[in-house]
Structure 1
């Protein structure tokens, strides 16, 4: 799971990420949190709120090639629309990608790849806003957990 993003408009709230972590762990998923060095504090906050061990927070502890390898081996990636989501598409790693201000038809995984789920409220916004996009806030943790559960039930063990 990759809870960070460079733009504030794409930063889904920490408490919602934590709820997704709890929901997926309840289904038996093993969770690690990825991110860059500047996203480590956010990932740690998600872990604390979700009851996830700090050792599962890889944010700020992986180099780009290590992150790419992690995505390539994952059973599933859950992320907002950011670079790591594009890695999942490139590697064929199943993904649930949350879109806020950007149109997934332009920036999301190709529609003909059923191993990816796009969650989007259907409206574009200001990608460079200093606040979380209202469309992203229209997405709830249960939407993410349900989409992830569908993919985890269908994905091969990696």
Structure 2
């Protein structure tokens, strides 16, 4: 079996940049879900900055609680649609879940909130200037617990906002990767 190269982690998706901020508040387990009230505060502040905020995720009931704060696309996007939505965004904010990996793959700036699992296990390994990880843990917790992890709860709204604003100030251009197809089979804008 051969080794994985950096190019194996990349995904080219044709999408026009639109400057939106994608917020993906859900995760497969409650242990990895930052409190909705905090997401709401972040969304309101970014909207006050003039940012268009879009909610994604399969947790429609969870996102519905934030729907008055942002455009809600939860449960409405195919995998290809989600890839295009992420690729066109200026920034993705999420917990430790699949959309964070998608942001890394397409080169969209991201801020990922880690809780029960250390980012060295699942965090980004490429383009680290484009992807910021927030983590205040000291070791592995229970990623399947029915309450948000204590390390995740130590991440503050102010910290997420400052980090998001810093990433947004760096610009919205996506890296150009050579040698990759325009879009993989089944993915289009």
4+ residue runs of structure 1 moved beyond 6 angstroms?
Answer: none
**Is the CA contact 2:109–2:172 (under 8 Å) kept in the aligned structure 1?**
no
Aligned equivalent of 1:82, options 80, 97, 103: 97
Q: Which TM-score applies when normalising by structure 1?
A: 0.90
| Partner in structure 1 of residue 33 of structure 2 | 11
What's the C-alpha RMSD, in Å, of the aligned pairs?
Answer: 1.4
Write the distance in 2 (CA, Å) between the matches of 1:147 and 1:82.
18
Aligned equivalent of 2:119, options 104, 107, 118: 104
Deviation, 1:111, is 6.4
| Partner in structure 2 of residue 92 of structure 1 | 107
Q: Point out the structure with max Rg over C-alpha.
A: 2
Aligned to 1:97, what secondary structure does the other structure show? strand
**Is the CA contact 1:125–1:133 (under 8 Å) kept in the aligned structure 2?**
yes
Aligned to 1:24, what secondary structure does the other structure show? helix
**Is the CA contact 1:47–1:57 (under 8 Å) kept in the aligned structure 2?**
yes
Give the number of aligned pairs: 151
| Partner in structure 1 of residue 157 of structure 2 | 141
Write the distance in 2 (CA, Å) between the matches of 1:110 and 1:32.
26
Aligned to 1:47, what secondary structure does the other structure show? coil
Write the distance in 1 (CA, Å) between the matches of 2:29 and 2:96.
10
Write the distance in 1 (CA, Å) between the matches of 2:99 and 2:62.
16
Residues 10 and 43 from structure 1, CA distance in 2 versus in 1: closer, same or farther, beyond 3 angstroms?
same
| Partner in structure 1 of residue 48 of structure 2 | 26
Structure 1 unaligned residues grouped into runs of 5+: none
**Is the CA contact 1:18–1:47 (under 8 Å) kept in the aligned structure 2?**
no
Write the distance in 1 (CA, Å) between the matches of 2:66 and 2:158.
16
Write the distance in 2 (CA, Å) between the matches of 1:115 and 1:70.
17
Deviation, 1:126, is 0.7
- Is 1:43 the equivalent of 2:43? no
Structure 2 unaligned residues grouped into runs of 5+: 1-22, 175-189
